[in-house]
Amino acid sequence: MDYSKKRHKQLVIRSQDLKNQGQNLFIENPEEDSELSKYNIVVEEQVFWTHRENFFLLMKNFLDNILDFDEFETAFSLLYRKTTEEVDMFIIDLKQIDKFQPSLTRPYRFASFIGSIFRQFEEVEDEYCTERDVKDFVKEVYLKSQIFQLDQQLALAEKYLNFTKALLGFTSLLAIYQVLEIFSWVK
């Protein structure tokens, strides 16, 4: 999607105006509501990503059997709810939206994976899946996230390497030039 800050702010202002009048954007204009929903998903993704280390820590402790299922569910749900509240505040705060820089390069939606884990706790309670299934899914999400982070670090390392190579090449050329200068002076 092409992110437009101007359009994003327009939609937020419109939604808030309607809310102040006791109305709702979805009921008044479903098309605009759907468009705003996409922007909100981008914001949500960014906020969840900033809290990723906390989610990773919980997932790792669960996978390493330091936390049992109940402890993991409690800690994860609390963190999930706290992050969701932060998103709810963010999406109506025009000052924050003004500073907002979305990252559209991630190949997957982190927040969606987290939401999936959260929703599975109820599935366990309803006996549609087991604690083992949840653990397997958490493992999948954790590994995927770690591989993605590793890729990011590798990409960053490659950038530094390319920069160093370029610097080295430039320095070498400079050295050759200096040597030639000396030779010409000797002659």
Partner 1 sequence: MKREIHKYPYNGRGEDATKIFLSDQVCEQVVSVSYRNGQILCTIKDKITHKKKEITLSAAFIFGILLGMPKAARPIGVTPIVSSASEIHRAAPQHLHQYKDAPTVNPRLGKIRFIASDKMIPLIYLNVEQLNVNEETLKRLQKLRGGDLASNLAIIAIGGVVYLILLSTGVNGFAILQQIGKWNGPTVDPGFPYDVSKIFRPKTGLQMQKPSAMPQQAYSSLTKSERRQLADPLGRDGSIEVDSYPRLDLRYNQIEFKTPKHGPDHGLTEDNKGRTPKTEANAIALRDSLINMPNRKNIVWYTNGQYQGGTPRGRDCVNLFDNDTGVIAVYQKEPNGSNLFLTTCKLTRMETDHLKANNGNFVTERILKEQSAVSPNIQNNINNKNGLQ
Applying CB under 8 A, does 1 fall inside the site for partner 1? Answer: yes
Q: Residues near 75 by Cβ (< 8 Å), separated by ≥ 6?
A: 58, 67
Applying CB under 8 A, does 85 fall inside the site for partner 1? Answer: no
Nearer to partner 1 among residue 66 and residue 150 (C-beta): 66
Q: Indicate which single residue of 6, 20, 27, 160 sits in contact with partner 1 (rule: CB under 8 A).
A: 27
Cα–Cα distance measured from residue 104 to residue 5, given in angstroms and rounded to the nearest whole number: 13
Q: Residues near 9 by Cβ (< 8 Å), separated by ≥ 6?
A: 94, 97, 98
Burial of residue 43, with CB atoms counted within 10 A of its CB: 0-12 exposed, 13-18 middle, 19 or more buried: buried
Applying CB under 8 A, does 130 fall inside the site for partner 1? Answer: no
Cα–Cα distance measured from residue 36 to residue 8, given in angstroms and rounded to the nearest whole number: 7
Applying CB under 8 A, does 38 fall inside the site for partner 1? Answer: yes
Three-point CA angle 145, 102, 35, nearest 5°: 110
Q: Indicate which single residue of 77, 103, 152, 178 sits in contact with partner 1 (rule: CB under 8 A).
A: 77
Applying CB under 8 A, does 81 fall inside the site for partner 1? Answer: yes
Q: Indicate which single residue of 13, 57, 66, 175 sits in contact with partner 1 (rule: CB under 8 A).
A: 66
H or E segment at 152? helix 131-186
Applying CB under 8 A, does 112 fall inside the site for partner 1? Answer: yes
Applying CB under 8 A, does 44 fall inside the site for partner 1? Answer: yes
Applying CB under 8 A, does 165 fall inside the site for partner 1? Answer: no
Q: Indicate which single residue of 13, 16, 23, 167 sits in contact with partner 1 (rule: CB under 8 A).
A: 23
Cα–Cα distance measured from residue 137 to residue 22, given in angstroms and rounded to the nearest whole number: 41
Applying CB under 8 A, does 69 fall inside the site for partner 1? Answer: no
CA distances for 22 relative to 27, 31, 38, 51, 128, angstroms: 11, 19, 23, 33, 39
Q: Which residues bind partner 1 (CB under 8 A)?
A: 1-2, 19, 22-24, 26-27, 30-31, 33-35, 37-38, 40-41, 44, 64-66, 74, 77-78, 81, 84, 109, 111-113, 115-116, 118-123, 125-128, 137
